[in-house]
Chains A and B, each alone.
Chain A
Amino acid sequence: MPPILPDFSNSVKLKYVKLGYQYLVNHILTLTLIPIMAAIFIEVLRMGPDEISNLWKSLHFDLVQILCSAFLIIFIATVYFMSKPRTIFLVDYACFKPPITCRVPFATFMEHSRLNLKNNPKSVEFQMRILERSGLGEETCLPPAIHYIPPKPTMEAARGEAELVIFSAMDSLFEKTGLNPKDIDILIVNCSLFSPTPSLSAMVINKYKLRSNIKSFNLSGMGCSAGLISIDLARDLLQVHPNSNAVIVSTEIITPNYYQGNERAMLLPNCLFRMGGAAILLSNRRSESRRAKYRLVHVVRTHKGADDKAYRCVYEEEDKESKVGISLSKDLMAIAGEALKSNITTIGPLVLPASEQLLFLLTLIGRKIFNPKWKPYIPDFKQAFEHFCIHAGGRAVIDELQKNLQLSSEHVEASRMALHRFGNTSSSSLWYELSYIEAKGRMKRGDRVWQIAFGSGFKCNSAVWKCNQSIKAPTDGPWADCIDRYPVHIPEIVKL
């Protein structure tokens, strides 16, 4: 809360003052324009029609002057429309629904852990504690290769998982949108930890027999925020190529990256990462504006890699026994907070209403000039967005963001429930969360959505979407069979 009026924070009066202030500042243009127009109107009425016709005749207009003005107007209009960035529409997207036979209940996970880590009961204890507090449910899924005792992470199994996830999501997308595979102009696949040759995008092109002049990209190594990086890339490409379709596939392949050693910092991802994927269709065609679900408004990317600590906080390396795993450092949350602040500073002016920006500016000036001890004003993002999709990296991430952005539990419900039902599916988790909001029937026309993702590097990326049309609760999709059970209360610690 702003420290300007600390004693009145609980007062009802303050609420109305705030509302009045917001209304005033946000609609300042309208509010100043209306009196001016009213004044002109009254003046016109007062003058009477004869005086107006006299006034009109007294203006001498040359043909040349008229033509020049007309050309000027047309020229300015043309320049404006030409330089306006193309609107990017999200036509539709599809999330991968894992087969129910890949389910991993807690008891099964712990048994496998005990059998595979026979000589390290402390590591098993650690995994159990992580699992109890993780916020995951009993229906998250791991790929088939990990169900073996011991796990069999062969390259063939990894390709198998990739085919299963990506092809299911794409088939689902084709069915939903009626897209012909030959109509795809741009293909971007992002999968951080599995990068074979030929690439996964080549695998997709091979399977669906896409055109030979397709622009394909494969992004790997970019962590959990790679989904939004792909969106950004697609947006830039769609500015250059008119009348095009872009398909983005976001996934994470778990099979080759299941850590088989004993190092605790590296065992953490095993407990949280689960199978998942999403396929998204973007387009800049005007004809899609009628059926598109969302419009892309902003994408803001922040990279903190220049800082050494941020660079090393999510690091893939070999442990003492030469087993490869991803090590998460202890100050991950602090670094994430810093990255978020950076991102907010950039995105704030783009999305916040004038009232919030003014307050922020005033507090900033006040801190600089009057008293540096004033707490910085945290803008109220709830006024800029109706829905929030926070990357379901783990319970700690969601808790931290909820605290920092002062969000209510309903705002973070989509993130928590996606974490419970699907686990941390990396770059595709944002799409499961969006799907949850739609499945609950909460998405109305004009609603704005903020997707925030964190990734190794350390990166914080945001995307802002505006809902194009009210979305009816879908009958298919990953939440179709279980949405009625949600929201579910997730206890702090699940007793195992």
Chain B
Amino acid sequence: MAAVVALGSGLGRKKLTLFVTATVRIPNPGNHAVLWRSCSQYKQVTSNEDLLLSQFISPFTGCIYGRHLTGLCGKKQKEITKAIKRAQIMGFMPVTYKDPVYLKDPKVCNIRYRE
């Protein structure tokens, strides 16, 4: 967490807001979702985990969010993208929408939809 804040102060105001929203944590871990935020939190991506990968796609179109929305570093963004594509081809994750089971997850990406 301290590393995230230090990085945020180094990068300038725009990125700082991105990282500030990142430090929000879920109060009860009994909840259904995992909050992945900074890259160091993030160990290994396998294509079986729909829960983790569904957080990075749009619920309406199923398109993968870009780097400016997810806030991940280069390597991890690439790994996530590859894992999502692999899961979609292998038949573990839907392509054109987000699985309705995962719609209630807390927002990880920096995108705001009109209510």
Do they bind each other? Answer: no
Which chain B residues have a beta carbon within 8 Å of chain A's beta carbons? Answer: none
